[in-house]
Structure 1
Amino acid sequence: MGSFIGNNKREIQKQKQKKRQEKQHRKDERKANGGNSLDDMIAYVDVNGNIVDTPPDLTEKKEDIDVNSIEIATPKKVEEDPTMRGVVDYFNDDKGYGFIKDKNNGNKYFFHISNAPEGIKTGNAVTFELEQGKKDMVAVKIEFDK
């Protein structure tokens, strides 16, 4: 019985040695074939922001930048005329609401009678401004177009 255990132990050691040799052989093959090393996986960014596989030339003279010449600001908001032009596409006098179709983009905007001039009806040319309503943009400050 004792010789059986010893024999089994030798076989296990032989198998471990064989696996180590196979592993070393695979490692040597990867090195010989130029396998994926850490250097192969590194990427660099050039001066234009493009990703390249070559490291930057550190001997190249860098351009000096005057820190005071850098302007940090938001662009000035250009005031636009908020008045839009359109035509009353639908109006229900009994319910007190309607829709105006914008002349520029064809979008329709809801309006309430409280934001419209007296005597408004379907087909009237109007000017209006937009305001955020409960669900969507609504037409307000509606006036007849001259």
Structure 2
Amino acid sequence: MAETFSKRERRKKKIERRREKEFRRDERRQLPVKQKSLEEMMAYVDENGNLSDTPPDPKNAYKAAVEDIVIDIPKALPDDPDAIPTGVVSYFDPSKGYGFIVNDQTQERLFVHVNSFAEPTTELSIGDKVSYTPTRSPRGMQATAVVKR
């Protein structure tokens, strides 16, 4: 059976593509590979944070103290560190004797217990304005010395 024209053309194109691919592969193998040395590949960061190819001068090295390195964002401090924080009672259950206060400035929620009132006769209800002293307890921040305003 004789080969048709289109089959013969497809076979020729396939053979030609295969030859071109082999030719390109041989060219790549024959090209000299220029490898860079470690010093040529090295990049440095200058004092402004920009990348550069020249190493920094060791005389200008800055030694940072471990205490100066801040890993997290510190909470905002009140304007006056001696000022007594104030807040609003967001929840209080007199039968159970505990509740929560929301700080006016930081919106932080603090636990408050009847035993931490400055005056034992004080009665709190939702929405009362209070001043307090924040203290850290094993379960989080707690309000002590609570005074109703």
What interval of TM-score do these two structures reach, taking the shorter chain for normalisation? 0.5 to 0.7
Counterparts of 1:139 and 1:45, CA distance in 2: 48
Q: Which amino acid aligns with 1:140?
A: T
Unaligned 5+ segments in structure 1 are: 1-25, 64-71
Counterparts of 1:126 and 1:79, CA distance in 2: 18
Q: Displaced runs of 4+ in structure 1, greater than 4 A?
A: none
Pair 1:89–1:79, CA change in 2 (3 A): closer
Counterparts of 1:50 and 1:95, CA distance in 2: 61
SS at match of 1:39: helix
Counterparts of 2:56 and 2:129, CA distance in 1: 64
- Are residues 1:136 and 2:136 paired? no
Unaligned 5+ segments in structure 2 are: 1-28, 69-78
TM-score, with normalisation over the residues of structure 1? Answer: 0.54
How far did residue 47 of structure 1 move? 4.8
Alignment of 1:32-51 (within 5 A): 35-48=35-48, 50-51=50-51
Pair 1:28–1:40, CA change in 2 (3 A): farther
Counterparts of 1:79 and 1:27, CA distance in 2: 75
Counterpart position of 1:9: none
Counterparts of 1:90 and 1:102, CA distance in 2: 13
RMSD of Structure 2 on Structure 1 (CA)? 3.4
Pair 1:94–1:46, CA change in 2 (3 A): closer
SS at match of 1:131: strand
